[in-house]
Amino acid sequence: MQFIDRVKMKVQAGDGGKGMSSFRREKYVAYGGPSGGDGGKGGNIVFEVDEGKSTLLDLRYNRKVVASNGGNGKTKKMHGATGQDAVIRVPLGTIIKDIETGQILADLTRNKQRAVICEGGKAGRGNFRFKSSKNTAPTYAEKGGIGESREIEVELKVLADVGLVGFPSVGKSTLLSVVSAAKPEIADYHFTTIQPNLGMVQVSDGRSFVMADLPGLIEGAAQGKGLGHQFLRHIERCRVIIHVVDMGAQDGRDPVEDYQIINNELESYQYRLLERPQVVVANKMDLDAAPENLKRFKEAYPDVEVFETMTLIAEGLEPVLYRAADLLDETPLFPLYDEEEDTEGVLYKYEGEKPAFYVHNLGNGRWMIDGDEIENAYRMANLDSVEGEQRFARKMRVLGVDQGLRDAGCQDGDTVAICDFEFEFVE
């Protein structure tokens, strides 16, 4: 199956249904009065974790998702149907980001976890809602609100406790296949692994953890060379790194130099990957050059604990698994977002309340008002009647639009625009 871990798409929540304007006219019911029902709320765009998925391949061919609109209100105070949510199922470890603002909208790390990415439009109220002692027969009914729309980037970061790193063909896939039930492709050529493979590892003392075999890194991976940059992001969630070094140096590489190169790539990448504890595995110790290379390695890195293994025959792996499990017990989760960086786009950042509107001076006596709250109020307003215009005018006064225009310097007779509606400002 093709592995897709990043997709850009557009999502649109459903619009709210219109409210109904109607009156009861039953033969034997006196003073029937207004009976228009409310519209239905628009459907939401919802992302939900599905443990059965391991890639974003389904989204690659479905770049635009639209939820259904709410139904219109009916007579006899009957509500319109609520719009059906569009539920998008994604693998564990999926992050949803707003492309325009860069804000992280959701980080899905639990099975069945759900996140509403776009809210459906509000339901328009029917004329029954506007009945009062002063207005016993209102004809006014609201339109439905507009559903939210976003351009988003959906990114998968593999959810594993332990990540295997190292140059191509050092034995990472073999190690995973021996210690778990995973069956990664294994062959005698570079970049056999072209997508992350996951396996559940069971330690003899009963502890268990998820291990990820990642494509081999090369020098310059953090800058985009080879496959490394594409898959380095999958190490971000790992709490422990198992660094596999080919001590046999069968392909002519120097294990001492390789170890430093991979660590330089981890350090160059964001999210401080080098701060994660490492378990260093000296693999292919059955080869002739391995003992001499291991001696040089220990001289170059005397403070590094090294585990000697021969993954092909599963020798020396149990101490590695115990060490990884011990480190997982004492290592907390690493934040995916650097608190010292610009905090824009940080998950759950408190932004405060947005203003209900913004005033823009276009010059020559022309002004424009925009903002989510005032624009939504305009779209829901029914301006086809005098009553509707009066209600919208009162809404603007309550939101402070009149005073905001005065404070900005708007003069009597100036033209003010909201969306596609223009009116003359009267002092």
Where is the binding site for GTP, in residues? 166-173, 191-195, 213-216, 283-286, 310-312
Structure tokens at 356: 């209900």
Residue ranges for the known binding site are 166-173, 191-195, 213-216, 283-286, 310-312
Annotated binding site for Mg(2+): which residue ranges?
Answer: 173, 193
Is the Cα dihedral 265, 268, 273, 274 positive or negative? positive
Q: Is the dihedral of CA 393, 397, 400, 402 positive or negative?
A: positive
